[in-house]
Structure 1
Amino acid sequence: MSDAPLNSAIALSRTRTDRARRWRTIRPLLTVYLPVLPFVAFALFPLYFMLVTSLKSNAELYDVGSVPFWISRGMTLSHYGLLSADTPFWDWFANSLIVSLSATVISVVLGVLAAYPLARMRFPGSDSFGVAVFITYLVPPTLLFLPLTSVVNWLGLSDSLWALVVTYPTFLVPFCTWLLMGYFRTVPKEIEECAMLDGCNRFQSMFRILLPAAVPGLICAALFAFTLSWNEFLYALVFVSPAELKTMTVGVFSELIRGDIYYWGALMAGAVIGSIPIVIAYVFFLDYYVSGLTSGAIK
Protein backbone atom coordinates (compact mmCIF):
# COMPACT_ATOMS: atom_id res chain seq x y z
CA MET A 1 0.00 0.00 0.00
CA SER A 2 1.28 3.48 -0.87
CA ASP A 3 2.09 5.88 1.99
CA ALA A 4 1.32 8.94 -0.17
CA PRO A 5 -2.22 9.60 1.26
CA LEU A 6 -0.92 9.24 4.81
CA ASN A 7 1.98 11.61 4.16
CA SER A 8 -0.39 14.09 2.54
CA ALA A 9 -2.68 13.98 5.57
CA ILE A 10 0.26 14.51 7.92
CA ALA A 11 1.54 17.42 5.83
CA LEU A 12 -1.94 18.98 5.72
CA SER A 13 -2.28 18.59 9.49
CA ARG A 14 1.09 20.24 10.04
CA THR A 15 0.14 23.08 7.72
CA ARG A 16 -3.09 23.69 9.62
CA THR A 17 -1.22 23.55 12.92
CA ASP A 18 1.34 26.07 11.67
CA ARG A 19 -1.44 28.37 10.43
CA ALA A 20 -3.26 28.12 13.75
CA ARG A 21 -0.03 28.89 15.63
CA ARG A 22 0.68 31.90 13.41
CA TRP A 23 -2.90 33.13 13.87
CA ARG A 24 -2.62 32.84 17.64
CA THR A 25 0.52 34.96 17.39
CA ILE A 26 -0.98 37.56 15.07
CA ARG A 27 -4.48 37.73 16.54
CA PRO A 28 -3.57 39.91 19.59
CA LEU A 29 -1.91 42.37 17.21
CA LEU A 30 -5.06 42.67 15.09
CA THR A 31 -7.70 42.48 17.82
CA VAL A 32 -6.01 44.31 20.72
CA TYR A 33 -3.00 46.43 19.83
CA LEU A 34 -4.09 47.95 16.51
CA PRO A 35 -7.55 49.04 17.76
CA VAL A 36 -5.95 50.61 20.85
CA LEU A 37 -3.20 52.36 18.88
CA PRO A 38 -5.28 55.45 17.87
CA PHE A 39 -6.27 56.02 21.50
CA VAL A 40 -2.65 55.71 22.64
CA ALA A 41 -1.52 58.16 19.97
CA PHE A 42 -4.29 60.58 20.99
CA ALA A 43 -3.24 60.36 24.66
CA LEU A 44 0.49 60.74 24.01
CA PHE A 45 0.28 63.50 21.39
CA PRO A 46 0.17 66.41 23.91
CA LEU A 47 3.34 65.11 25.60
CA TYR A 48 5.03 64.71 22.22
CA PHE A 49 4.01 68.20 21.13
CA MET A 50 5.25 69.74 24.40
CA LEU A 51 8.61 68.01 24.06
CA VAL A 52 9.06 69.00 20.41
CA THR A 53 8.11 72.62 21.10
CA SER A 54 10.48 72.86 24.07
CA LEU A 55 13.41 71.70 21.94
CA LYS A 56 12.86 74.08 19.01
CA SER A 57 14.84 77.27 18.51
CA ASN A 58 12.97 80.57 18.64
CA ALA A 59 13.67 81.15 14.94
CA GLU A 60 11.83 77.96 14.01
CA LEU A 61 9.22 78.28 16.74
CA TYR A 62 7.95 81.67 15.52
CA ASP A 63 8.28 80.90 11.81
CA VAL A 64 4.74 80.53 10.46
CA GLY A 65 6.06 78.49 7.54
CA SER A 66 7.63 75.74 9.67
CA VAL A 67 5.89 72.47 10.45
CA PRO A 68 4.88 72.49 14.15
CA PHE A 69 4.99 68.71 14.65
CA TRP A 70 8.71 68.02 14.26
CA ILE A 71 12.09 69.74 14.50
CA SER A 72 13.68 70.66 11.18
CA ARG A 73 16.42 73.15 12.17
CA GLY A 74 18.14 71.39 15.02
CA MET A 75 17.37 70.97 18.72
CA THR A 76 18.24 73.43 21.46
CA LEU A 77 18.13 73.40 25.25
CA SER A 78 18.02 77.19 25.56
CA HIS A 79 14.43 77.17 26.83
CA TYR A 80 15.38 74.88 29.71
CA GLY A 81 18.33 77.18 30.42
CA LEU A 82 15.96 80.16 30.48
CA LEU A 83 13.85 78.46 33.14
CA SER A 84 16.85 77.75 35.35
CA ALA A 85 18.71 81.05 34.85
CA ASP A 86 16.01 83.71 34.55
CA THR A 87 13.24 82.34 36.78
CA PRO A 88 13.12 80.63 40.21
CA PHE A 89 11.71 77.57 38.49
CA TRP A 90 13.31 75.00 40.79
CA ASP A 91 11.97 76.87 43.82
CA TRP A 92 8.51 76.56 42.29
CA PHE A 93 9.16 72.89 41.64
CA ALA A 94 10.20 72.32 45.26
CA ASN A 95 7.16 74.26 46.52
CA SER A 96 4.82 72.14 44.43
CA LEU A 97 6.48 68.97 45.67
CA ILE A 98 6.26 70.02 49.34
CA VAL A 99 2.63 71.10 49.09
CA SER A 100 1.54 68.06 47.06
CA LEU A 101 3.23 65.51 49.33
CA SER A 102 1.96 67.20 52.50
CA ALA A 103 -1.61 67.51 51.23
CA THR A 104 -1.55 63.91 49.98
CA VAL A 105 -0.42 62.50 53.33
CA ILE A 106 -2.99 64.53 55.25
CA SER A 107 -5.81 63.65 52.86
CA VAL A 108 -5.08 59.92 52.81
CA VAL A 109 -4.81 59.75 56.62
CA LEU A 110 -8.09 61.64 57.08
CA GLY A 111 -9.69 59.59 54.32
CA VAL A 112 -8.74 56.33 56.06
CA LEU A 113 -10.08 57.54 59.42
CA ALA A 114 -13.35 58.63 57.79
CA ALA A 115 -13.79 55.68 55.41
CA TYR A 116 -13.22 52.93 57.97
CA PRO A 117 -16.26 53.62 60.21
CA LEU A 118 -18.46 54.32 57.19
CA ALA A 119 -17.47 51.03 55.56
CA ARG A 120 -17.27 48.78 58.62
CA MET A 121 -19.71 50.12 61.23
CA ARG A 122 -23.46 50.45 61.14
CA PHE A 123 -24.92 53.52 62.84
CA PRO A 124 -27.91 55.79 62.15
CA GLY A 125 -27.28 57.89 59.06
CA SER A 126 -24.12 56.09 57.96
CA ASP A 127 -25.33 55.56 54.38
CA SER A 128 -26.60 59.13 54.07
CA PHE A 129 -23.33 60.45 55.48
CA GLY A 130 -21.36 58.46 52.91
CA VAL A 131 -23.42 59.96 50.08
CA ALA A 132 -23.00 63.41 51.59
CA VAL A 133 -19.22 62.96 51.57
CA PHE A 134 -19.29 62.23 47.85
CA ILE A 135 -21.64 65.15 47.12
CA THR A 136 -19.19 67.41 48.96
CA TYR A 137 -16.50 66.35 46.47
CA LEU A 138 -18.76 67.44 43.60
CA VAL A 139 -18.87 71.05 44.83
CA PRO A 140 -16.64 73.08 42.43
CA PRO A 141 -13.54 74.62 44.05
CA THR A 142 -14.47 77.93 42.42
CA LEU A 143 -17.38 78.18 44.88
CA LEU A 144 -15.17 77.49 47.89
CA PHE A 145 -12.16 79.76 47.48
CA LEU A 146 -14.05 82.88 48.65
CA PRO A 147 -15.03 81.49 52.08
CA LEU A 148 -11.68 79.71 52.32
CA THR A 149 -9.96 83.06 51.82
CA SER A 150 -11.58 84.30 55.02
CA VAL A 151 -10.53 81.14 56.84
CA VAL A 152 -6.93 81.42 55.63
CA ASN A 153 -6.73 85.07 56.65
CA TRP A 154 -8.26 84.30 60.05
CA LEU A 155 -5.63 81.59 60.62
CA GLY A 156 -2.86 83.96 59.54
CA LEU A 157 -1.65 81.62 56.79
CA SER A 158 -1.99 83.88 53.77
CA ASP A 159 1.05 84.15 51.49
CA SER A 160 2.53 80.93 52.83
CA LEU A 161 2.66 77.34 51.65
CA TRP A 162 0.65 76.33 54.70
CA ALA A 163 -2.37 78.05 53.16
CA LEU A 164 -2.28 75.48 50.36
CA VAL A 165 -1.53 72.54 52.66
CA VAL A 166 -4.61 73.43 54.70
CA THR A 167 -7.00 74.14 51.82
CA TYR A 168 -6.14 71.32 49.40
CA PRO A 169 -7.63 68.60 51.64
CA THR A 170 -11.02 70.33 51.35
CA PHE A 171 -11.44 68.76 47.90
CA LEU A 172 -9.09 65.78 48.34
CA VAL A 173 -10.51 64.20 51.53
CA PRO A 174 -14.10 63.65 50.23
CA PHE A 175 -13.03 61.67 47.18
CA CYS A 176 -10.33 59.74 49.04
CA THR A 177 -12.97 58.83 51.63
CA TRP A 178 -15.45 57.68 48.99
CA LEU A 179 -12.81 55.67 47.14
CA LEU A 180 -11.48 54.00 50.28
CA MET A 181 -15.00 53.18 51.47
CA GLY A 182 -15.55 51.14 48.34
CA TYR A 183 -12.21 49.40 48.64
CA PHE A 184 -12.53 48.62 52.34
CA ARG A 185 -15.82 46.87 51.60
CA THR A 186 -14.02 44.46 49.27
CA VAL A 187 -11.87 43.20 52.17
CA PRO A 188 -13.70 40.38 54.04
CA LYS A 189 -14.88 41.32 57.50
CA GLU A 190 -14.00 37.87 58.80
CA ILE A 191 -10.26 38.58 58.92
CA GLU A 192 -10.86 41.56 61.21
CA GLU A 193 -13.29 39.59 63.34
CA CYS A 194 -10.68 36.87 63.79
CA ALA A 195 -8.14 39.49 64.84
CA MET A 196 -10.56 40.97 67.38
CA LEU A 197 -11.26 37.50 68.75
CA ASP A 198 -7.52 37.18 69.32
CA GLY A 199 -7.50 40.38 71.39
CA CYS A 200 -7.14 43.25 68.90
CA ASN A 201 -9.29 46.33 69.28
CA ARG A 202 -10.78 48.30 66.38
CA PHE A 203 -7.71 50.45 65.75
CA GLN A 204 -5.33 47.52 65.94
CA SER A 205 -7.42 45.45 63.53
CA MET A 206 -7.57 48.42 61.15
CA PHE A 207 -3.83 49.17 61.17
CA ARG A 208 -2.54 45.60 61.36
CA ILE A 209 -5.12 43.73 59.28
CA LEU A 210 -7.20 45.97 57.04
CA LEU A 211 -4.66 48.53 55.85
CA PRO A 212 -2.03 45.97 54.70
CA ALA A 213 -4.78 44.23 52.72
CA ALA A 214 -5.94 47.56 51.26
CA VAL A 215 -2.58 48.77 49.93
CA PRO A 216 -3.82 49.06 46.29
CA GLY A 217 -6.70 51.25 47.41
CA LEU A 218 -4.40 53.44 49.50
CA ILE A 219 -1.99 53.87 46.59
CA CYS A 220 -4.88 54.72 44.28
CA ALA A 221 -6.14 57.39 46.68
CA ALA A 222 -2.60 58.77 47.16
CA LEU A 223 -1.96 58.99 43.41
CA PHE A 224 -5.27 60.74 42.87
CA ALA A 225 -4.59 63.23 45.67
CA PHE A 226 -1.02 63.88 44.51
CA THR A 227 -2.12 64.46 40.90
CA LEU A 228 -4.83 66.94 41.86
CA SER A 229 -2.53 68.78 44.26
CA TRP A 230 0.28 68.95 41.71
CA ASN A 231 -1.97 70.38 38.99
CA GLU A 232 -4.08 72.72 41.16
CA PHE A 233 -4.06 76.32 39.97
CA LEU A 234 -6.86 78.44 41.49
CA TYR A 235 -6.03 78.16 45.20
CA ALA A 236 -2.31 78.54 44.52
CA LEU A 237 -3.01 81.72 42.55
CA VAL A 238 -5.33 83.26 45.17
CA PHE A 239 -3.63 82.33 48.45
CA VAL A 240 0.09 82.81 47.61
CA SER A 241 1.49 86.08 46.23
CA PRO A 242 5.31 86.12 46.76
CA ALA A 243 7.12 84.95 43.63
CA GLU A 244 9.50 82.65 45.54
CA LEU A 245 6.58 80.82 47.22
CA LYS A 246 4.51 80.17 44.14
CA THR A 247 3.87 76.65 42.94
CA MET A 248 5.03 75.58 39.52
CA THR A 249 1.65 75.87 37.79
CA VAL A 250 1.22 79.49 38.89
CA GLY A 251 4.88 80.50 38.60
CA VAL A 252 5.29 79.34 35.00
CA PHE A 253 2.03 81.01 34.03
CA SER A 254 2.74 84.34 35.73
CA GLU A 255 6.41 84.72 34.75
CA LEU A 256 6.39 83.41 31.18
CA ILE A 257 3.23 85.14 29.96
CA ARG A 258 3.85 88.87 30.01
CA GLY A 259 1.01 90.82 28.49
CA ASP A 260 0.62 89.58 24.92
CA ILE A 261 4.08 87.95 24.86
CA TYR A 262 4.14 84.19 25.33
CA TYR A 263 7.45 82.41 25.84
CA TRP A 264 6.17 79.23 24.24
CA GLY A 265 9.45 77.35 24.33
CA ALA A 266 10.00 77.96 28.05
CA LEU A 267 6.30 77.31 28.80
CA MET A 268 6.49 73.92 27.13
CA ALA A 269 9.82 73.18 28.83
CA GLY A 270 8.20 73.87 32.20
CA ALA A 271 5.25 71.67 31.24
CA VAL A 272 7.58 68.81 30.28
CA ILE A 273 9.50 68.99 33.56
CA GLY A 274 6.25 69.31 35.48
CA SER A 275 4.93 66.13 33.88
CA ILE A 276 7.87 64.02 35.02
CA PRO A 277 6.81 63.40 38.67
CA ILE A 278 3.30 62.38 37.57
CA VAL A 279 4.66 60.07 34.88
CA ILE A 280 7.11 58.46 37.32
CA ALA A 281 4.39 57.94 39.93
CA TYR A 282 2.01 56.27 37.50
CA VAL A 283 4.70 54.14 35.87
CA PHE A 284 5.68 52.60 39.20
CA PHE A 285 2.21 52.32 40.72
CA LEU A 286 -0.10 51.91 37.70
CA ASP A 287 -1.12 48.33 38.54
CA TYR A 288 -2.02 49.32 42.08
CA TYR A 289 -3.90 52.36 40.79
CA VAL A 290 -6.05 50.35 38.36
CA SER A 291 -6.70 47.64 40.95
CA GLY A 292 -7.69 50.12 43.63
CA LEU A 293 -9.86 52.22 41.32
CA THR A 294 -11.78 49.31 39.79
CA SER A 295 -12.25 47.43 43.07
CA GLY A 296 -13.60 50.51 44.78
CA ALA A 297 -15.84 51.36 41.84
CA ILE A 298 -17.58 48.01 41.41
CA LYS A 299 -18.35 47.38 45.08
Structure 2
Amino acid sequence: MDVGVVGASGYAGGELLRLLSNHPKFAISYISAGSNAGELITAIHPHLTHFKDRKFEVTDTSKIDKCELLFIALPHGESAKLISQIDPNLKIIDLGADFRLVNKGSWEKYYSGEYAGNWIYGLPEVVGSSQIAKEIRVANPGCYATAISLAIAPIVDFIEMQDLVAVAASGTTGAGRSAKISLIGSEVMNSLSSYKFGGVHQHTPEIEECLNRLAKSEVKLSFTPILAPIPRGILATITSKLDQPISITGIREIFEIFYRDSAFVSLLPTGQMPMTSSVLGTNNAQIQVAIDEHTNRLVISCAIDNLGKGAAGQAIQNANLICGFEQDLGLRNLAVR
Protein backbone atom coordinates (compact mmCIF):
# COMPACT_ATOMS: atom_id res chain seq x y z
CA MET A 1 0.00 0.00 0.00
CA ASP A 2 1.18 3.51 -0.78
CA VAL A 3 1.55 5.42 2.47
CA GLY A 4 2.04 9.10 3.24
CA VAL A 5 3.42 10.77 6.37
CA VAL A 6 2.57 14.42 7.00
CA GLY A 7 4.60 16.13 9.71
CA ALA A 8 7.52 13.75 9.32
CA SER A 9 10.20 16.05 10.73
CA GLY A 10 9.01 15.71 14.34
CA TYR A 11 10.03 12.98 16.76
CA ALA A 12 6.84 10.96 16.24
CA GLY A 13 7.11 11.49 12.49
CA GLY A 14 10.69 10.25 12.49
CA GLU A 15 9.71 7.16 14.47
CA LEU A 16 6.93 6.51 11.96
CA LEU A 17 9.47 6.58 9.13
CA ARG A 18 11.78 4.21 11.03
CA LEU A 19 9.05 1.65 11.69
CA LEU A 20 7.37 1.97 8.29
CA SER A 21 10.67 1.43 6.46
CA ASN A 22 10.59 -2.20 7.61
CA HIS A 23 6.85 -2.82 7.24
CA PRO A 24 6.13 -5.62 4.73
CA LYS A 25 2.86 -4.11 3.44
CA PHE A 26 3.34 -0.34 3.64
CA ALA A 27 5.50 1.53 1.11
CA ILE A 28 6.24 5.17 1.94
CA SER A 29 5.43 7.15 -1.19
CA TYR A 30 5.02 10.65 0.25
CA ILE A 31 6.86 12.38 3.13
CA SER A 32 6.09 16.00 3.97
CA ALA A 33 7.25 18.49 6.58
CA GLY A 34 5.99 22.04 6.20
CA SER A 35 8.80 24.23 7.56
CA ASN A 36 11.46 21.65 6.65
CA ALA A 37 10.31 21.08 3.07
CA GLY A 38 13.28 20.74 0.75
CA GLU A 39 15.67 19.59 3.48
CA LEU A 40 17.25 16.16 3.48
CA ILE A 41 15.44 13.75 5.77
CA THR A 42 18.78 12.63 7.20
CA ALA A 43 19.60 16.23 8.11
CA ILE A 44 16.79 16.04 10.69
CA HIS A 45 16.82 12.29 11.34
CA PRO A 46 20.44 11.19 10.78
CA HIS A 47 19.69 7.64 11.96
CA LEU A 48 17.25 7.05 9.07
CA THR A 49 19.89 5.99 6.57
CA HIS A 50 17.26 4.20 4.44
CA PHE A 51 16.18 7.69 3.34
CA LYS A 52 19.59 8.90 2.17
CA ASP A 53 19.29 11.62 -0.53
CA ARG A 54 15.50 11.82 -0.04
CA LYS A 55 14.02 15.18 0.93
CA PHE A 56 10.94 16.32 2.81
CA GLU A 57 8.23 17.54 0.46
CA VAL A 58 5.77 20.39 0.88
CA THR A 59 2.31 19.51 2.12
CA ASP A 60 0.36 18.99 -1.11
CA THR A 61 -3.23 17.71 -0.98
CA SER A 62 -3.04 16.39 -4.55
CA LYS A 63 -0.15 14.12 -3.53
CA ILE A 64 -1.88 13.18 -0.30
CA ASP A 65 -4.93 12.03 -2.25
CA LYS A 66 -2.79 9.61 -4.25
CA CYS A 67 -1.92 7.72 -1.06
CA GLU A 68 -3.94 4.75 0.16
CA LEU A 69 -3.14 5.43 3.82
CA LEU A 70 -2.06 8.62 5.56
CA PHE A 71 -0.39 9.25 8.91
CA ILE A 72 -0.69 12.80 10.26
CA ALA A 73 1.85 13.81 12.91
CA LEU A 74 1.14 17.53 13.17
CA PRO A 75 0.83 19.80 16.22
CA HIS A 76 -2.56 19.88 17.87
CA GLY A 77 -5.09 21.90 15.89
CA GLU A 78 -3.40 21.43 12.53
CA SER A 79 -4.93 18.10 11.46
CA ALA A 80 -8.47 19.43 11.40
CA LYS A 81 -7.43 22.19 8.97
CA LEU A 82 -5.99 19.61 6.58
CA ILE A 83 -8.76 17.00 6.76
CA SER A 84 -11.38 19.19 5.07
CA GLN A 85 -9.15 19.51 2.00
CA ILE A 86 -8.47 15.83 1.28
CA ASP A 87 -10.32 12.79 -0.05
CA PRO A 88 -13.02 11.79 2.49
CA ASN A 89 -12.43 8.10 1.71
CA LEU A 90 -8.70 8.16 2.45
CA LYS A 91 -7.67 5.99 5.40
CA ILE A 92 -6.10 8.21 8.08
CA ILE A 93 -4.39 7.76 11.42
CA ASP A 94 -4.08 11.10 13.22
CA LEU A 95 -1.42 11.23 15.92
CA GLY A 96 -2.59 14.66 17.11
CA ALA A 97 -5.36 15.42 19.58
CA ASP A 98 -7.81 17.01 17.15
CA PHE A 99 -10.28 14.10 16.99
CA ARG A 100 -9.71 12.31 20.32
CA LEU A 101 -12.31 13.96 22.54
CA VAL A 102 -16.04 13.29 22.42
CA ASN A 103 -16.88 16.16 24.75
CA LYS A 104 -16.70 19.58 23.08
CA GLY A 105 -16.50 21.31 26.45
CA SER A 106 -13.40 19.34 27.37
CA TRP A 107 -11.71 20.37 24.11
CA GLU A 108 -12.50 24.03 24.76
CA LYS A 109 -11.17 23.77 28.34
CA TYR A 110 -7.88 22.00 27.61
CA TYR A 111 -7.06 23.03 24.03
CA SER A 112 -7.31 26.11 21.82
CA GLY A 113 -9.05 26.44 18.49
CA GLU A 114 -12.36 25.17 17.17
CA TYR A 115 -13.64 21.72 18.14
CA ALA A 116 -13.42 19.43 15.09
CA GLY A 117 -15.47 16.46 16.28
CA ASN A 118 -14.25 12.97 17.11
CA TRP A 119 -13.12 9.75 15.44
CA ILE A 120 -12.91 6.32 16.99
CA TYR A 121 -10.33 6.28 19.78
CA GLY A 122 -7.40 4.10 18.75
CA LEU A 123 -6.53 2.16 21.89
CA PRO A 124 -7.24 -1.37 20.61
CA GLU A 125 -6.75 -3.17 23.93
CA VAL A 126 -9.51 -1.06 25.51
CA VAL A 127 -11.81 0.04 22.68
CA GLY A 128 -11.58 -3.28 20.84
CA SER A 129 -9.60 -4.27 17.75
CA SER A 130 -12.71 -5.36 15.89
CA GLN A 131 -14.35 -1.96 16.39
CA ILE A 132 -11.31 -0.08 15.10
CA ALA A 133 -11.04 -2.44 12.11
CA LYS A 134 -14.44 -1.21 10.88
CA GLU A 135 -13.27 2.41 10.59
CA ILE A 136 -11.22 4.32 8.03
CA ARG A 137 -10.17 7.18 10.35
CA VAL A 138 -8.66 6.75 13.79
CA ALA A 139 -7.64 9.19 16.51
CA ASN A 140 -4.37 7.85 17.91
CA PRO A 141 -4.23 8.25 21.72
CA GLY A 142 -1.83 10.48 23.59
CA CYS A 143 1.26 8.97 25.22
CA TYR A 144 0.32 9.54 28.85
CA ALA A 145 -3.28 8.58 28.11
CA THR A 146 -2.11 5.26 26.68
CA ALA A 147 0.02 4.29 29.69
CA ILE A 148 -2.54 5.34 32.31
CA SER A 149 -5.57 3.88 30.52
CA LEU A 150 -3.86 0.53 29.95
CA ALA A 151 -2.95 0.41 33.63
CA ILE A 152 -6.49 1.05 34.89
CA ALA A 153 -8.79 -0.52 32.26
CA PRO A 154 -8.76 -4.13 33.54
CA ILE A 155 -9.61 -3.24 37.14
CA VAL A 156 -12.32 -0.54 36.88
CA ASP A 157 -14.91 -2.69 38.69
CA PHE A 158 -12.77 -3.08 41.81
CA ILE A 159 -11.54 0.44 42.58
CA GLU A 160 -13.01 3.86 43.35
CA MET A 161 -13.00 5.47 39.91
CA GLN A 162 -13.46 8.96 41.34
CA ASP A 163 -10.25 8.58 43.33
CA LEU A 164 -7.67 7.95 40.59
CA VAL A 165 -4.26 9.50 41.20
CA ALA A 166 -1.56 9.24 38.54
CA VAL A 167 2.02 10.49 38.47
CA ALA A 168 3.94 9.83 35.25
CA ALA A 169 7.45 10.71 34.11
CA SER A 170 8.20 11.18 30.41
CA GLY A 171 11.27 11.69 28.31
CA THR A 172 11.87 15.02 26.60
CA THR A 173 10.75 13.86 23.13
CA GLY A 174 7.21 13.99 24.49
CA ALA A 175 7.44 17.78 24.37
CA GLY A 176 8.23 17.87 20.64
CA ARG A 177 11.11 19.41 18.68
CA SER A 178 10.29 23.06 19.19
CA ALA A 179 13.13 25.00 20.79
CA LYS A 180 12.33 25.76 24.44
CA ILE A 181 14.70 26.93 27.16
CA SER A 182 13.21 24.40 29.61
CA LEU A 183 14.19 21.54 27.29
CA ILE A 184 17.82 22.37 26.52
CA GLY A 185 20.41 19.95 27.90
CA SER A 186 21.72 22.31 30.56
CA GLU A 187 18.22 22.61 32.03
CA VAL A 188 17.11 18.99 31.75
CA MET A 189 20.20 17.01 32.69
CA ASN A 190 20.44 15.95 36.37
CA SER A 191 16.99 17.34 37.09
CA LEU A 192 13.36 16.24 37.45
CA SER A 193 10.49 18.70 37.39
CA SER A 194 6.70 18.57 37.34
CA TYR A 195 4.85 20.56 34.71
CA LYS A 196 1.23 21.38 33.88
CA PHE A 197 0.85 21.10 37.64
CA GLY A 198 -2.53 21.01 39.35
CA GLY A 199 -4.62 18.83 37.04
CA VAL A 200 -4.33 20.95 33.88
CA HIS A 201 -2.61 18.48 31.53
CA GLN A 202 -4.59 18.01 28.31
CA HIS A 203 -4.53 14.21 28.51
CA THR A 204 -6.71 14.27 31.64
CA PRO A 205 -10.10 14.41 29.86
CA GLU A 206 -8.87 11.92 27.27
CA ILE A 207 -8.08 9.37 29.98
CA GLU A 208 -11.37 10.00 31.74
CA GLU A 209 -13.33 9.55 28.51
CA CYS A 210 -11.46 6.35 27.66
CA LEU A 211 -12.09 4.79 31.08
CA ASN A 212 -15.71 5.97 31.17
CA ARG A 213 -16.31 3.46 28.37
CA LEU A 214 -15.69 0.69 30.91
CA ALA A 215 -16.55 2.13 34.31
CA LYS A 216 -19.96 1.93 35.95
CA SER A 217 -19.47 5.29 37.67
CA GLU A 218 -18.01 8.67 36.72
CA VAL A 219 -14.24 8.77 36.37
CA LYS A 220 -12.20 11.47 38.09
CA LEU A 221 -8.43 11.65 37.69
CA SER A 222 -5.77 13.75 39.40
CA PHE A 223 -2.76 13.63 37.07
CA THR A 224 0.71 15.08 37.54
CA PRO A 225 3.26 14.75 34.70
CA ILE A 226 7.02 14.89 35.30
CA LEU A 227 9.76 15.76 32.83
CA ALA A 228 12.56 13.19 33.12
CA PRO A 229 16.16 13.68 31.89
CA ILE A 230 15.88 10.93 29.26
CA PRO A 231 15.00 11.25 25.55
CA ARG A 232 12.13 8.76 25.45
CA GLY A 233 10.00 6.53 27.65
CA ILE A 234 7.11 6.89 30.12
CA LEU A 235 6.82 5.38 33.56
CA ALA A 236 3.37 5.88 35.10
CA THR A 237 2.29 5.07 38.65
CA ILE A 238 -1.45 5.04 39.28
CA THR A 239 -3.27 4.44 42.57
CA SER A 240 -6.87 4.20 43.74
CA LYS A 241 -8.66 2.91 46.82
CA LEU A 242 -10.07 -0.62 46.50
CA ASP A 243 -13.85 -0.62 46.91
CA GLN A 244 -14.23 -4.35 47.68
CA PRO A 245 -12.11 -7.14 49.16
CA ILE A 246 -9.76 -8.79 46.67
CA SER A 247 -6.38 -10.46 46.91
CA ILE A 248 -3.32 -9.61 44.87
CA THR A 249 -3.69 -13.05 43.28
CA GLY A 250 -7.20 -12.11 42.18
CA ILE A 251 -6.00 -8.79 40.78
CA ARG A 252 -3.22 -10.46 38.82
CA GLU A 253 -5.69 -12.94 37.37
CA ILE A 254 -7.94 -10.10 36.20
CA PHE A 255 -5.05 -8.40 34.39
CA GLU A 256 -3.83 -11.64 32.84
CA ILE A 257 -7.30 -12.43 31.49
CA PHE A 258 -7.85 -8.89 30.21
CA TYR A 259 -4.58 -8.86 28.24
CA ARG A 260 -4.27 -12.55 27.36
CA ASP A 261 -4.85 -11.90 23.64
CA SER A 262 -2.69 -8.77 23.47
CA ALA A 263 0.48 -8.91 21.41
CA PHE A 264 1.88 -5.89 23.20
CA VAL A 265 0.66 -5.53 26.80
CA SER A 266 2.00 -7.83 29.49
CA LEU A 267 1.76 -8.22 33.26
CA LEU A 268 5.24 -8.88 34.59
CA PRO A 269 6.06 -11.71 37.01
CA THR A 270 5.74 -10.87 40.69
CA GLY A 271 8.76 -8.92 41.88
CA GLN A 272 9.78 -7.66 38.44
CA MET A 273 9.21 -3.95 37.82
CA PRO A 274 8.46 -2.16 34.53
CA MET A 275 11.41 -0.23 33.13
CA THR A 276 11.41 2.24 30.27
CA SER A 277 14.60 0.70 28.90
CA SER A 278 12.81 -2.63 28.51
CA VAL A 279 10.26 -1.21 26.06
CA LEU A 280 12.51 1.22 24.17
CA GLY A 281 11.85 1.16 20.43
CA THR A 282 8.85 -1.16 20.75
CA ASN A 283 5.05 -1.02 20.82
CA ASN A 284 5.04 -2.88 24.13
CA ALA A 285 3.63 -1.96 27.52
CA GLN A 286 4.80 -3.56 30.77
CA ILE A 287 2.60 -3.55 33.88
CA GLN A 288 3.06 -4.49 37.54
CA VAL A 289 0.46 -4.40 40.33
CA ALA A 290 0.50 -4.36 44.12
CA ILE A 291 -1.79 -3.64 47.06
CA ASP A 292 -0.73 -1.02 49.58
CA GLU A 293 -2.35 -2.67 52.60
CA HIS A 294 -1.62 0.32 54.85
CA THR A 295 -3.98 2.53 52.82
CA ASN A 296 -6.03 -0.18 51.04
CA ARG A 297 -5.00 1.26 47.70
CA LEU A 298 -4.20 -0.56 44.48
CA VAL A 299 -0.87 0.56 43.01
CA ILE A 300 -0.12 0.00 39.31
CA SER A 301 3.09 0.70 37.40
CA CYS A 302 3.16 0.89 33.61
CA ALA A 303 6.08 1.53 31.23
CA ILE A 304 5.84 2.37 27.55
CA ASP A 305 7.95 4.11 24.93
CA ASN A 306 6.24 7.46 24.37
CA LEU A 307 7.27 7.33 20.71
CA GLY A 308 6.27 3.66 20.38
CA LYS A 309 3.05 2.53 22.06
CA GLY A 310 2.56 6.20 22.93
CA ALA A 311 2.68 7.41 19.31
CA ALA A 312 4.12 5.83 16.14
CA GLY A 313 3.97 2.18 17.14
CA GLN A 314 0.33 2.42 18.13
CA ALA A 315 -0.43 4.38 14.96
CA ILE A 316 0.90 1.50 12.88
CA GLN A 317 -1.03 -0.97 15.04
CA ASN A 318 -4.21 0.97 14.23
CA ALA A 319 -3.26 1.24 10.56
CA ASN A 320 -2.80 -2.53 10.40
CA LEU A 321 -6.30 -2.97 11.81
CA ILE A 322 -8.11 -0.65 9.39
CA CYS A 323 -6.18 -2.15 6.46
CA GLY A 324 -7.08 -5.72 7.36
CA PHE A 325 -3.62 -6.89 8.49
CA GLU A 326 -2.50 -8.58 11.68
CA GLN A 327 -2.19 -5.79 14.22
CA ASP A 328 1.40 -6.67 15.13
CA LEU A 329 2.63 -6.70 11.51
CA GLY A 330 5.86 -4.72 11.33
CA LEU A 331 5.87 -4.29 15.10
CA ARG A 332 7.42 -7.53 16.33
CA ASN A 333 10.82 -6.03 17.13
CA LEU A 334 12.43 -6.40 20.54
CA ALA A 335 13.56 -3.53 22.77
CA VAL A 336 16.99 -2.02 22.11
CA ARG A 337 18.09 -1.97 25.77
Please report the TM-score for the alignment, with normalisation by the length of structure 1: 0.23
Relative to total residues, which structure has the larger helix share, 1 or 2? 1
Looking at both structures, which has the greater relative contact order when contacts are Cα pairs under 8 Å and sequence separation is at least 6? 1
